[in-house]
Every structure is written in structure tokens, then in C-alpha cells.
Amino acid sequence: MPFSLPVQLIRPKRFGDSRGWFTEVYSVPAFEKLGITCTFVQDNHSLSIPAFTLRGLHFQTPPRGQDKLVRCVRGTIFDIAVDIRRGSPTYGQWVGAELSAENGHQLFIPIGFAHGFVTLEDNCEVSYKCSDTYEPDSDGGIRWDDPAIGIDWPLPADTSPELSAKDAVQPLLADFDSPFPYDGRPLAPLA
């Protein structure tokens, strides 16, 4: 199995003709070639009605951690992952990518990373696969606007995102005792 980066931007090929296009969004053999060998057991689908709805930064703690494969099936989002693996040389650093129905890109986010996204237009739908089912007792989060992380969210000036009550009061990274070990793969810029 080839060495893989912890967070990967995946660009599935689209095959088009006069009718539209076709794409294969997930294939075990294709993902194994990228070093992604987890088994997905749950699919989630969300609708965010107003533009600049922000969901995150979320994760599940061990032993119920979740690898995620995220794609936007309607609209456009800015999707991010934050390294929260204790001992990682890239702890607290983030990467992000624009995912849209138009570009078809996906973001693979492994266990040990907090995940979040902001919608860039109205009526965005996001679909993502998870390697474990939802477990409320393992549910965790970090503040979306933690200055120690410094995510450059693409929000217009003087715009506050639409947040859930839970996301508005998540703890800061400095107050988080990470249960995620570093696996030797530092976070790298998305290719």
C-alpha cells in the first residue's frame, strides 16, 4: 500500500456527453491505491438553507472515531480539516478546499482531525461517508473561530455565520485534551 497523506483532496474524473456526465465517487480499489483503507458504515446528508451556514469543528473520540469522505452535491462549500493529534508537528494547523456540485471534488478526513465547513451560497447539500456510526457520548468539537487555529473562513466582511447553539460554545483548542495519537503522517498542503 502506498504512503498516504492524512487529509486528501480527491478529484474524481467525470465522463460527459450531450446527456450530461457520469462519475465514480467511491471505489474500494481506487481508494486503496490512495492509501485509504477504512470501511465506511454510515452515509450522512445535510441541507443548509442560508448562505454562510457554518458546521463544525466536529469529531468523534476513540474508540468511536470517524474517517470521513465529504462532498458537496448542491451548491458550494469551503471544507476544512484541523490536525488535533497530540504530538503532531502540525497540531492545530488546518487545510481547506472548495467543494461544489460543479467541481465534484471530495475531501478525505481521517480520524484525528476536526472537520467543518461553511456554505458559500444558499441551499447547499453535503453528503459524507463515515467509518463509524454516530455516538453521542463520543461527540466532540472545537471552536470554529479559535484564534490559535486561525482558519481563514471565506466570509464577507461584517458577516457572522449561521451556527448551531452547540457550535457557538465549543471549547478552544487550548482547553482540549486530545485523545488522538500522532501516526507519523504530518498534515501537508492539499495537492
Which residues are catalytic, by number?
Answer: 58, 128
Q: In what order do the strands lie in the sheet with 68-74?
A: 8-10, 106-109, 68-74, 124-130, 42-48
CA 191 – CA 181 distance, rounded (Å): 24
Q: What is the number of alpha carbons within 13 Å of residue 168 lying toward its C-beta?
A: 7
CB 162 within 8 A of CB 50: yes
Q: How far is CA 129 from the centre of its chain?
A: 10
Give the span between the Cα atoms of 103 and 8, in whole angstroms: 16
The C-alpha atoms of residue 127 and residue 129 are separated, in whole angstroms, by: 7
Cα–Cα separations (whole angstroms), residue 35 to 54, 68, 80, 89, 147 = 30, 14, 20, 21, 32
